[in-house]
Amino acid sequence: MPPKLCQLCNETRAVLKRPKTGQHICRECFYYVFETEIHNTIMEANLFSPGDRVAIGASGGKDSTVLAYVMKVLNERYNYGLDLHLLSIDEGIRGYRDDSLETVKRNQQQYDMPLKILSYEELYGWSMDRIVEQVGRKNNCTFCGVFRRQALDRGAANIGVDHILTGHNADDIAETVLMNIMRGDIARLGRCTLITTQGEDTIKRSKPFKYVYEKEIVMYAYFKKLDYFSTECIYSPDAYRGHARTFLKDLEASRPSAIIDIIHSGEAFEVRQEVKAKAKAQTTCKRCGYMSSNELCKACSLLEGLERGMGGLAVVRGRCRGLDVAEMKQKDR
């Protein structure tokens, strides 16, 4: 049987089956559709203006590594005029983050972008290893998510950027849609499919990979031989998200469009005005000066609990005061 020809160019032998569409295509056509779809997402959402200083949240994992690479390619190909930076957070997890940060340092050289690394230790005086020693493994991601969010904002302010890009992909967003439905969190459901979010006084965050399938990110990294770190965090991530992920993978196996369909469903939900989270008046944290709707920001509330040796209790109290663990929970990238 003659080799199958690429269904897009009809000239070259097909070497892969595209996960998103099922088409058999050649390597060059895969690069072209993968990169062009991201460019189209960026253009439709009008994400940038020439001269913008933009930070890519870089962990050394596949998503952020491919994001840094593709942003560099698109910035040059389409003259976006962006000043691109890498911004990494060192949570202080031995055997995981120290190794992945070595990958980011190599990416800095490979992609010729300035890199800023900020650690929990220098910002908060606590590493995740020490936090886990104190609070155990149950609430570790809550601490980590709150601290990372603030650390990224502080890092962005430090290098003078006002826009952070994260590597959240279509699978992550579809999972979040499912989780918000399963939790009945309708206010968050209305926001989780937005490509850009920006709270009052916070730095803009965008997800250029909003419609990009995880499998295609892995494939792209593989064919381009990108240098990324693939080990999972040694502290157990969110179990509930794990169930949503398994469910989504099962759906994808029987119908690949399930991921995009779920995102489109999330986008189509209309959230009634009274259900949307009411913005509380913003003030500044009396301890660290970060913006906050309470006397203490979320990070400082958690830190005070840790300092009193009551880390676990601080999380419970935080919830009672309206801290939302779902918001804190961040994908580890």
Closest CA to 257 of 194, 316, 170: 170
DSSP state of 276: S
How far apart are CB 26 and Zn ion at their closest, in Å? 3
Q: By the 8 A CB rule, do 74 and 42 touch?
A: yes
Provide the mask over 12-31, with x wherever binding to Zn ion is found by CB under 5 A and - wherever it is not. x-------------x--x--
Q: Which long-range contacts (CB under 8 A, 24 or more apart) does 303-307 make?
A: 303/124, 303/125, 303/126, 306/126, 306/131, 306/134, 306/135, 306/143
Choose between 30 and 69: whose C-beta lies nearer to Zn ion: 30
145 binds, among ligand SF4, Zn ion, none (CB under 5 to 8 A by kind): ligand SF4
Q: Which of 41, 127, 140, 301 binds ligand SF4 (CB under 6 A)?
A: 140
Choose between 232 and 261: whose C-beta lies nearer to ligand SF4: 232
Stretch that binds Zn ion, among 54-62, 219-227, 259-267, 278-286 (CB under 5 A): 278-286
Mapping DSSP to helix (H, G, I), strand (E, B) and coil, where does residue 186 land? helix
Q: What CA–CA distances, in Å, run from 15 to 1, 12, 132, 140, 317?
A: 15, 9, 45, 42, 54
Choose between 66 and 131: whose C-beta lies nearer to ligand SF4: 131
Q: Which of 237, 243, 290, 293 binds ligand SF4 (CB under 6 A)?
A: 237
Q: What CA–CA distances, in Å, run from 41 to 218, 260, 284, 312?
A: 19, 14, 35, 41
Q: Where are the beta strands (DSSP E) in 14-140?
A: 16-17, 24-25, 53-57, 83-90, 115-119
Choose between 230 and 257: whose C-beta lies nearer to ligand SF4: 230
- Subset of residues 59 to 118 that bind ligand SF4, contact rule: CB under 6 A: 91
Provide the mask over 301-330, with x wherever binding to ligand SF4 is found by CB under 6 A and - wherever it is not. -----------------------------x
- H or E, element range at 314: helix 311-320
- The dihedral over CA atoms of 208, 41, 228, 117, expressed in degrees to the nearest 10, equals -30
Cα distance between residue 297 and residue 150, in whole Å: 10
Choose between 26 and 263: whose C-beta lies nearer to Zn ion: 26
Stretch that binds ligand SF4, among 31-39, 68-76, 137-145, 197-205 (CB under 6 A): 137-145
Distance of CA 96 to the CA centre of its chain: 18
Choose between 146 and 285: whose C-beta lies nearer to Zn ion: 285
233 binds ligand SF4 (CB under 6 A): yes
Stretch that binds Zn ion, among 4-12, 44-52, 62-70, 133-141 (CB under 5 A): 4-12
- 98 burial (CB, 10 Å; 0-12 / 13-18 / 19+) is exposed
Give me the residues that bind Zn ion (CB under 5 A), please.
6, 8-9, 12, 26, 29, 285, 287-288, 290, 297, 300
Give me the residues that bind ligand SF4 (CB under 6 A), please.
91, 128, 140-141, 144-145, 233, 235, 237, 330, 332
